[in-house]
Amino acid sequence: MKRILCILLALIMIVGLGTSALAVAVGEQRVVLGADLNAEQRAQMFTDFGLIQGSVSELTVTIDQERAHLQDFVPASVIGSRSISSIYIITAPAGTGLDISINNINWLTESIYRNALLTAGVTDARVIISAPVPVSGTAALTGIYMAFEDITGEALSEEAKRVGIEEAVLTGDIAAALGDSEDIAALMNELKLMIDIIRYMSDAEVRTEIRDLAVQYNIALTDSQVEQILRLARNLENVDLNTLQGALQAIQRIHGAAEGVGGFFRSVGEFFSGAGEAVSGFFSWVRGLFG
What pLDDT does 23 receive? 60
Whether the Cβ atoms of residue 42 and residue 33 lie closer than 8 Å to each other: yes
Beta strands in the chain (DSSP E): 29-34, 58-61, 86-91, 98-105, 125-135
pLDDT one-digit tens code per residue, 106-146: 888 888 788 778 877 788 899 999 999 999 888 898 898 89
pLDDT one-digit tens code per residue, 178-215: 877 778 888 888 888 888 889 899 999 999 999 999 99
pLDDT one-digit tens code per residue, 60-103: 999 998 888 777 777 776 777 889 999 999 999 988 888 999 99
Mean pLDDT of the 11-37 span: 67
- Confidence label for 33 from pLDDT (cuts 50, 70 and 90): very high
The two counts, helices (H) then strands (E), for the chain are 14, 5
Q: What is the mean pLDDT of the chain?
A: 76
Cβ contacts of 15 within 8 Å, gap of 6 or more: none
What pLDDT does 22 receive? 54
- Residues across the chain: 291
The boundaries of the domain holding residue 121 are 1-291
Axis-axis angle for helices 223-236, 158-178 (nearest 10): 160
What's the Cα-to-Cα distance from 146 to each of 68, 194, 245, rounded to whole Å? 13, 29, 22
Q: Label residue 246 exposed, middle or buried (CB < 10 Å: 0-12, 13-18, 19+).
A: buried
Q: How many domains does the chain contain in total?
A: 1
